[in-house]
Amino acid sequence: MATINDNYLKLPGSYLFAEIARRVAAFKEANPDADIIRLGIGDVTQPLPPACIEAMHKAVDEMANADTFRGYGPEQGYSFLTEAIIEHNYKARGIEIGTDEIFISDGSKSDCGNIQEIFGEDNKVAITDPVYPVYLDTNVMAGRTGTLNEDGHFEGVTYLPCDASNNFAPELPQERVDMIYLCCPNNPTGTTLSREELTKWVNYAKENESVILFDAAYAAYITEEDVPRSIYEIEGAKDVAIEFRSFSKTAGFTGTRCGYTIIPKTVKGRAKDGSLVEFNKLWNRRHTTKFNGTAYIVQRGAAAIYTEEGQKQVKETIAYYMENARIIREGLQAAGIEAYGGVNAPYIWLKTPNDMPSWDFFDKLLTEVNIVGTPGAGFGPCGEGYFRLTAFGNRENTVRAVERIKNKLHF
Ligand code: PLP
């Protein structure tokens, strides 16, 4: 009989969102008239920018004509998109990236989940805690970890705790690690790493021959000038870092699907024979073997965000979400709840009152004020005692939710 990849058995079920759905459904059944407001979703709610829609319509028309029809495109992406990205997101910030150092994809989840395939199986992985669960789970699947301990930690993984006590900035690990996942701005805490913090990590990676896997899916939400938009703003990062970006939260592409990964040719790893190999070469091989390119129509839509009107529209939508973030953050603080994030990211991370466990706070919020959020414990052991609210709802519901928390929640 065929055998399975036993590493998959180490993973707990996708407990978080299934459990949220179960608890909300049970509450709704018992309270059919309850006016539930959802501030738990990590999905956008505003439509695509009109500039993207227009570009996609035009691309659809091109597909209808034999002279302009496009079949398979370059797996790495069309140059009209890669060049626009390089120009706007990198060159404009003094960063040189070659067109052969960027790979367009169907989104960041695939990229930051698949990237581990080009690393050695026995690499030691460091992951900030709490964080987007894809980094850990994909390394579990690949066999780079042991089993899950009762305390919620996987054997063999270096967890980098981030909470209010270290201002959500992970400390350097005591032991040497090979792959370091950093998410900035971070999901779920909504916090960022300063230039100094990032410099510390780049220097560590250089000294230890490690690679930083830098997820900047929320870079477009950064409002503070001194927070780096890209890890390549840090000197030396082009030798040690791979960067992931996405159009999902930047421009509402969660359902349309487009993202990209930057792998400078200067980022290298060691082969078993001791020779140095460019990760770029390996990823190019993987990408061209396992991926057949992002749809032409979608890439046209993505490229439209770099036009003058596209930029204006994207900024307006982000400002809309960030105003929601401000309303939530300030509302929580006015209610006497400690709240973090929400300044450079659409996520607000709150400390549960009286150190209440995350799931107890979930139930309290749902039953007392009919609001759905996400328990922090679902993002890693260090998320226990915290809770995530998102700014992706509409304004009216956001305002109503905050009023309920301020006026009706008792703790
Ligand atoms: N990275 C982080 C930190 C995210 O929060 C998400 C989505 O929620 C992604 C990546 C995935 O983005 P995409 O829609 O491009 O796959």
Nearest CA to 229 out of 237, 220, 238 is that of 220
Task: Give the residue among 292, 222, 302, 297 at the shortest CA–CA distance from 259.
Answer: 302
Instruction: For residue 41, name the pLDDT band (cuts at 50, 70, 90).
Output: confident
Res 14 pLDDT > 80: no
> What is the per-residue pLDDT for 6?
97
Residue 146: which pLDDT band, with cuts at 50, 70 and 90?
A: very high
Q: Using CA atoms, how far apart are residues 393 and 411, in angstroms rounded to an integer?
A: 25
Distance (Å, rounded) from C-alpha 380 to C-alpha 357?
13
Q: Of the given ranges (7-16, 23-32, 356-365), which has the lowest mean pLDDT? A: 7-16
- Using one digit for the tens of pLDDT, what is the confidence trace for 173-214? 999 999 999 999 999 999 999 999 999 999 999 999 999 999
Distance of CA 334 to the CA centre of its chain: 29
Between strands 386-390 and 374-375, the pairing is antiparallel
Give distance in angstroms: CA of 213 to centre of ligand 1. Answer: 14
Whole-structure pTM value: 0.97
pLDDT single digits (tens) 365-384: 999 999 999 999 999 999 99
* 67 Cα: distance to centroid of ligand 1 (angstroms): 36
What pLDDT score was predicted for residue 87?
98
CA distance 298 to 345: 25
Strand pairing report for 347-351 and 339-341: antiparallel
Residue nearest (by alpha carbon) to ligand 1 atom 5: 187
Tell me the pLDDT band of 223, cut-offs 50, 70 and 90. very high
Ligand 1: centre distance to CA 246 (Å): 7
Nearest atom of ligand 1 to the alpha carbon of 132: 3
* CA–centroid distance, residue 407 to ligand 1 (Å): 34
| Domain residue extents for the chain | 6-47+310-408, 53-308
Residue 361 banded pLDDT, cuts 50, 70, 90: very high
Average the pLDDT over 232-238 and give the result: 98
Ligand 1 environment, Cβ below 6 A? 42, 107-109, 112, 132, 183, 187, 215, 217, 246, 248, 254, 259
Is domain 6-47+310-408 classified as CATH 3.90.1150.10? yes
Q: Percent of the chain, pLDDT > 70? A: 100
280 touches 102 (CB < 8 A): no
Kindly report the CATH class assigned to 53-308. Answer: alpha beta
- The residue to mutate among 248, 257, 349, 379, having the most atoms of ligand 1 within 8 angstroms of its beta carbon, is 248
Taking only the tens place, the pLDDT of each residue in 80-119 is 999 999 999 999 999 999 999 999 999 999 999 999 999 9
Average pLDDT over residues 311-327: 98
Tokens of 191: 């916090």
Predicted local confidence at residue 150, as pLDDT: 93
